[in-house]
A and B are shown apart, each in its own frame.
With several copies, the nearest count.
Chain A
Amino acid sequence: MAVAQQVGTVKKNYLQALNEALREEMARNEDLLLLGEDIGILGGAFGVTEGLQEEFGGHRVYDMPISEAAIVGVAVGAALNGKTVMAEMQFIDFISCGFDQIVNMMATYHYRTAGEVNIPVVVRGPAGGYGGGALYHSQMNEAWFCHSPGLKVVCPSTPYDAKGLMKAALRDGNPVIFYEIKELYRLNSIAEELPEEDYTVPLGKAAIRRSGKDLTFVTYGNNVYHCLEAAEVLFKEHGIDAEVIDIRSLVPLDEETIYTSLGKTNRVVVVNEAPMTCGFAGEIVARITNNAFDLLDAPPLRVTRLDTPVPWAKPLESFVLPGVDKIVAAGLRVARF
């Protein structure tokens, strides 16, 4: 039992996994810098960079002024001059303040120099709703960046993936926007043991979280868990066996895994928590209908946030965000189509 406890204590949550990834990469790559507000002395608003300034020094870990555009732009300049940079947005919502530097300066640098310049910068930050954060502490604004060529976009849902994708992102050589789901940061139920040895999770590879034969849920982030719950409900209450695909990486997207699943289920519901219009759920639906129309026995549905901001009061927040009930309902609709 002592051993069991011992094992129990080495389980790492999502936040710890990220912190480990950064620590290991900082040790591995002495040209890696960390930039962000309150990431040094404080160790980050959530503690993702806890202990890193102490360990690696103030010349590697910078407490930046409240200047998101400068954070991104300085990261780009440092990258131009040989550094790899992690640039933290204290909440991903504030990325809008550095927007131009991201989409016009950073994303395009490789393209406009015909490949001369690489920009190994990971812009990361806590994201997502369900926590009562209201309009400016709940956003999933990944679609803006999926729509801005030159950026990779990633969103892990497990500690293992958080660590592995962070390492892969920091080694990728391209700018990556990295969405961390803050509601998962300290969620004990998903804590897990992580490999002792160095590992990465490749960008552009989806994970099947549940196998099923009747319909496919395609999702990422917070909604992986909602879809898994919905799949249980569908199975127990309706005998419908749903597959759940966690895409993990939006750009590049592992379409193969989606089409393979559809080859089996012929029915799909795409779930994410961004506003519906021009969101990534719609993109997946469009790709499926463009490229795998013949596999569809039912309309590919979306369950997303309504086209509203995320309101504060709980009943309102639940009303606008996807939840298990809405996902079950959509599952039933496509299954019974």
Chain B
Amino acid sequence: MPTSSAQTSEKPKSSANGVAKRPSELLTKEQCLELFQHLYLARYFDVRLIKEKKRGRLRGTLYSSHNQEAVIVGSIYGLQPNDWISPIHRDMPMFFLKDARNGLRNPNRMGMTIEEICAQVWCKAGSPGRARDNWSHIGSQSKHIIHSTSMLAGTIPAAAGVALADKINGVNNVVLTFNGEGSTAQGVFHEAINFAAVRKLPVVTVVENNMWAYGTPVELECPTEDVADRAKGYGIPGFVANGQDVFDVYDKVMEAVEWARAGNGPSIVECKTFRAYGHGDHDDDRAAKYRDPKEVAQGRANDPIAVCRKRLIDLGYLTGDAATQYVAENKGAGEVTNEDFPPEVVEYMNEGIEFAMNSPLPEAEEGGMWVFKE
């Protein structure tokens, strides 16, 4: 069992002298730049929806993933196309970023299109769920994305079930589940991970520790310093990643994924991050009161786009003008503009929104349909 990196997360293994390299060190320049692009895609999706919501064009609650994009992007980048994910409310960009390496516009890739996701957000019939359940509750059986309910941690048992079926079939997929740190207090979190550990199922639970569960700080949800310590209760690895650093997230999740794919069973990867806004957009004003502004400023200080940019510059992958061409980081949704993003990022989102706008509402009668398979 790899040592829980709760202690060692800041101590990367040396890559010199034939010692194993960290997974991120094996990434090519193109891949590194692609990761950077994914951060833009995730950020732009979020800020654009915040704007659209403010313009009154959206219903439902928007759970911003602002400042948490490195977790979303870094944790799924290294997956195989057929691996499964189970995103949660704050992970909307994950739906279209899954298997994005095979081309955002590749019709055969194992991820959803921006059109499907925008249709969902806009509550239109073009949504894969035909707008029957809201926002992040979509998914796709064929693309290996598990649909969540609102009940937090409620999909981890299903993740274990998916993994069990694959294992029986001799299929070597990994299942990534996502949960906030607060959600780890739920009973099914325990039941599902316990079962997965007993049966050594390839289920990796990524905990997005953004320090707050709605209006409750992490120390009232979890008694240990690292949420990853929950792993110790199951004798499974618990990793701690710097959730602002897409490469560190990638490294820790890949370690967990390879551990799982090798048949060693489940693990927990805690990514330490910080929620930029309110719990949902309805909570922005109150959050400004219940959270110390200093804490908030500090939490937002390491913008994952900035962190990634710095790394790419250090690596020599971003040079000259390109290094500062699109500065989306450290700007609120109200400040940032389209010019702060690569045009193809804006374009991709525009295509999604256009599709959504043109997609009809579902027909009223659909409300009575699909209660049962006929």
Assess whether B149 is interfacial by the CB under 8 Å rule.
Answer: yes
Per the bound structure, the CA–CA distance linking A252 and B154 in Å amounts to 28
Tell which of A65, A73, A75 touches B220, judged by Cβ atoms closer than 8 Å: A65
Are B162 and A81 in contact, CB atoms less than 8 angstroms apart? yes
Assess whether B151 is interfacial by the CB under 8 Å rule.
Answer: yes
Assess whether B2 is interfacial by the CB under 8 Å rule.
Answer: no
Are A150 and B371 in contact, CB atoms less than 8 angstroms apart? yes
Q: A38-B216, A66-B185 are in contact. Are A150 and B367 (CB under 8 A)?
A: no
List A contacts of B159 (CB < 8 A): 77
Are B188 and A69 in contact, CB atoms less than 8 angstroms apart? yes
CB distance from A83 to the nearest CB of B (A): 5
List A contacts of B315 (CB < 8 A): none
Q: A78-B165, A134-B137, A313-B362 are in contact. Are A150 and B372 (CB under 8 A)?
A: yes
List B contacts of A174 (CB < 8 A): 372-373
Assess whether A143 is interfacial by the CB under 8 Å rule.
Answer: no
Q: Which of A19-27, A113-121, A193-201 binds B?
A: A113-121
Per the bound structure, the CA–CA distance linking A67 and B361 in Å amounts to 36
Tell which of B150, B152, B185, B188 touches A101, judged by Cβ atoms closer than 8 Å: B188
Tell which of B124, B169, B373 touches A110, judged by Cβ atoms closer than 8 Å: B373
Q: Which of A254-262, A289-297, A315-323 binds B?
A: A315-323
Per the bound structure, the CA–CA distance linking A306 and B137 in Å amounts to 22
Assess whether A207 is interfacial by the CB under 8 Å rule.
Answer: no
List B contacts of A188 (CB < 8 A): none
List A contacts of B370 (CB < 8 A): 110-111, 113-115
Q: A105-B149, A316-B131, A320-B367 are in contact. Are A37 and B160 (CB under 8 A)?
A: no
Assess whether B331 is interfacial by the CB under 8 Å rule.
Answer: no
Q: Which residues of B contact A (CB under 8 A)?
A: 59-60, 123-124, 128-134, 137, 139-142, 146-147, 149-166, 168-169, 182-183, 185-188, 191-192, 194-195, 198, 213-217, 220-222, 286, 290, 361-373
List A contacts of B185 (CB < 8 A): 65-67, 70
5 shortest A-B CB distances, which residue pairs?
Answer: A77-B161, A73-B157, A42-B215, A136-B150, A77-B158
* Mask of A91-131 contacts with B, CB within 8 angstroms, 1/0: 10110110011001100111111111110000000000000
Are A313 and B150 in contact, CB atoms less than 8 angstroms apart? no
Assess whether A286 is interfacial by the CB under 8 Å rule.
Answer: no
Are B195 and A312 in contact, CB atoms less than 8 angstroms apart? no
Per the bound structure, the CA–CA distance linking A161 and B152 in Å amounts to 32
Report the nearest B residue to A113, measured CB to CB.
B129
List A contacts of B216 (CB < 8 A): 37-38, 41-42, 63, 65
Q: Is the interface of A mostly helix, strand, loop or mixed?
A: loop
Q: A42-B214, A117-B147 are in contact. Are A70 and B371 (CB under 8 A)?
A: no
Query: Could you count the A-B residue pairs with CB atoms below 8 Å apart for me: how many are there?
Result: 261
* Mask of A79-92 contacts with B, CB within 8 angstroms, 1/0: 11111000000110
Per the bound structure, the CA–CA distance linking A217 and B228 in Å amounts to 55
Are B158 and A316 in contact, CB atoms less than 8 angstroms apart? no
A-B contact pairs, 23 of them (CB 8 A): A38-B214, A43-B215, A66-B185, A67-B187, A69-B157, A70-B188, A73-B154, A74-B164, A76-B157, A78-B165, A81-B165, A100-B188, A101-B188, A111-B371, A114-B366, A132-B59, A134-B134, A312-B60, A314-B59, A315-B367, A317-B367, A318-B364, A319-B364
Are A77 and B367 in contact, CB atoms less than 8 angstroms apart? no
CB distance from B227 to the nearest CB of A (A): 12
Q: A37-B216, A116-B140 are in contact. Are A101 and B161 (CB under 8 A)?
A: no
Number of A residues near B (Cβ < 8 Å) is: 76
CB distance from A6 to the nearest CB of B (A): 28
Assess whether A51 is interfacial by the CB under 8 Å rule.
Answer: no
List A contacts of B183 (CB < 8 A): 66
Tell which of A59, A73, A78 touches B156, judged by Cβ atoms closer than 8 Å: A73
Q: A65-B198, A81-B165 are in contact. Are A312 and B132 (CB under 8 A)?
A: yes
- Beyond the given pairs A66-B152, A67-B192, 8 more chain A to chain B contacts, judged by CB atoms under 8 angstroms and listed by A's residue number, are A37-B213, A63-B216, A74-B161, A78-B164, A83-B161, A90-B214, A100-B151, A313-B361
Per the bound structure, the CA–CA distance linking A109 and B149 in Å amounts to 9
Assess whether A55 is interfacial by the CB under 8 Å rule.
Answer: no
CB distance from A132 to the nearest CB of B (A): 5
Per the bound structure, the CA–CA distance linking A114 and B165 in Å amounts to 23
Per the bound structure, the CA–CA distance linking A314 and B124 in Å amounts to 10
Are A116 and B128 in contact, CB atoms less than 8 angstroms apart? yes
Assess whether A299 is interfacial by the CB under 8 Å rule.
Answer: no
Are B215 and A63 in contact, CB atoms less than 8 angstroms apart? yes
Per the bound structure, the CA–CA distance linking A80 and B214 in Å amounts to 30
CB distance from B39 to the nearest CB of A (A): 29
Per the bound structure, the CA–CA distance linking A134 and B195 in Å amounts to 30
Are B156 and A65 in contact, CB atoms less than 8 angstroms apart? no
Per the bound structure, the CA–CA distance linking A135 and B64 in Å amounts to 21
Tell which of B129, B133, B162 touches A80, judged by Cβ atoms closer than 8 Å: B162
CB distance from A61 to the nearest CB of B (A): 11
Per the bound structure, the CA–CA distance linking A33 and B166 in Å amounts to 13
CB distance from A87 to the nearest CB of B (A): 10
Are B146 and A80 in contact, CB atoms less than 8 angstroms apart? yes
